[in-house]
Amino acid sequence: MEPSKLSARERELVEAFVAAWEASSHTPFAFGHTPFEHPSWPAGVRVPGRQEVRRLLALDCLELGRSAPGAWRVFPSAAARELAGAAENEALADPDRRLGLILEATVTAFEADPAEALQFLPVWGSALVRHPHWQLQPEVVKPHDLQQLADLGLVATDSGDDTLVMFWPTVHGRAAVGDAPGYLERVARETDDEEEQSRLRRAAKHLRVGDVAVGAAAGTVSGALIRALVGL
C-alpha cells in the first residue's frame, strides 16, 4: 500500500477502521445483508459503503475473512495499522521472543476465561485467533508457531475440522509463564544428561537474578525460556 494513492476520504476510513479495531479488542467489521454496524466505529466518521470497502481491499488496507454467502468480514491490514500509527510489537520479529509472546498471550487469555479455548480461524491467505481476552493482533499467530509450542509441550491443539483449530496452554505452559526459572529447574531435574542439567540450571539462574545478557538475547522472560528449552 502506498499512502500517496489514498484520497483524504480513504485515509479517514483507514484511520477509523484501525481506531475501531483497536478499541474493540479486534472485533472484525461485517458487511452484508444488514446495515453496517460496529461497536467502536468513530461517531464523526461516515460509515463506508461496499464500493469504498472494495477500494480499500484493492489497496491492501483491509483483509477479507470468510463469512456467510453475500457477507464480508474485514479487518485492517498490518500496512493500514502502520499508516494509522498503531505500533506493532517488534519482538515478534525474533523467533524466540515471538514464541514467548504468543505463549504469554495464550496463557493470559486462557486464565482470564478458562472455559473457552482459543480458536484459530482461517481467512483468505491467513488465519485469525479469536478469544475475548486475546491481547496480540489476531493474525499474528501462524500454524508453525503453534506447532513449535506444541512440540515443546507448552500448548495443546485440537483440529475440530478443516476450518477450525482450537488451542490452549498445557499445565507446563502455564507453569513456564508463571515461573520461568522454576520451570527450567524442574526440566533440569527431569533430565538425565548432566551437561544438559548444568546448562538449564545456568539459564534458570540467569533468569532468576535478571541477567541482562539473557534478557537482551531473547527480549522477554518467556522468550529467554524458549531459547533455553530449544538449547540455544
Residue 228 and residue 184: Cα distance in Å, rounded? Answer: 8
Residue 107 banded pLDDT, cuts 50, 70, 90:
very high
Paired strand residues for 31: 72
Q: Count Cβ atoms below 10 Å from residue 214 Cβ, excluding itself.
A: 21
Of the two residues 158 and 88, the one the predictor is more confident about is: 158
Residue 184: closest CA among 221, 144, 217? 221
Exposed e or buried b for every residue in 175-190, given b needs 16+ CB within 10 A? Answer: bbbebbbebbbbbbee
Phi, psi of 64 (to 5 degrees): -105, 130
Contact 165, 158 (CB under 8 A): yes
Given this model, what pLDDT does residue 214 score?
Answer: 46
In 3D, which of 73, 72, 185 has the Cα closest to residue 139?
73
Q: Which domain covers residue 15, as residue numbers?
A: 3-83
Domain of 22: which CATH number? 1.10.10
Q: Look at 27 and 17; give whichever has higher pLDDT.
A: 17
Residue 184: what residue type? Answer: L
Q: What is the mean pLDDT of residues 137-152?
A: 89
- At 193-214, the pLDDT tens digits run 999 999 999 999 888 876 544 4
pLDDT band, very low/low/confident/very high, at 34 (cuts 50, 70, 90): low
Is residue 125 scored above 80 in pLDDT? no
Does the residue 45 lie in any domain?
Answer: yes
What's the mean per-residue pLDDT of the chain? 83
Share of the chain above pLDDT 70, in %: 83
Cell output for 104:
504469554
Locate 199 and state its grid cell: 546448562
Identify whether 57 is part of a domain: yes
> For the segment 165-179, what is each residue's pLDDT rounded down to a tens digit?
899 999 999 999 999
Q: What is the pLDDT of residue 71?
A: 66
Residue 8 maps to a domain: yes
- Mean pLDDT, range 117-140, rounded to an integer: 80
> Has residue 63 been placed in a domain?
yes
- Return the pLDDT at 218: 39
Considering only 3-17, 147-161, 217-231, which range has the smallest mean pLDDT? 217-231
Flag whether pLDDT at 24 surpasses 90.
no
User: Is residue 24 included in any domain, yes or no?
Assistant: yes
* Percent of the chain scoring above 90 in pLDDT: 37
Radius of gyration over every alpha carbon of the chain, rounded to an integer in angstroms? 21
pLDDT in tens, 59-93: 888 887 655 455 677 888 888 888 877 656 666 77
pLDDT score, position 160:
66
Asked whether residue 125 is assigned to any structural domain, the reply reads no
Would the pLDDT of 110 be above 90?
A: yes
Distance, CA of 16 to CA of 35 (rounded, Å): 17
pLDDT of amino acid 162:
63
Mean pLDDT of the region 116-136: 80
Residue with the bigger pLDDT between 114 and 85: it is 114
Residue with cell 530449544: 230
For residue 58, is it within any domain?
A: yes
- CB-based burial, 13-33: b 16+ in 10 Å, e otherwise: bbbbbbbbbeeeebbbbbbee
- Count up the domains in the chain and report the number: 1
In a domain, 101, yes or no: no
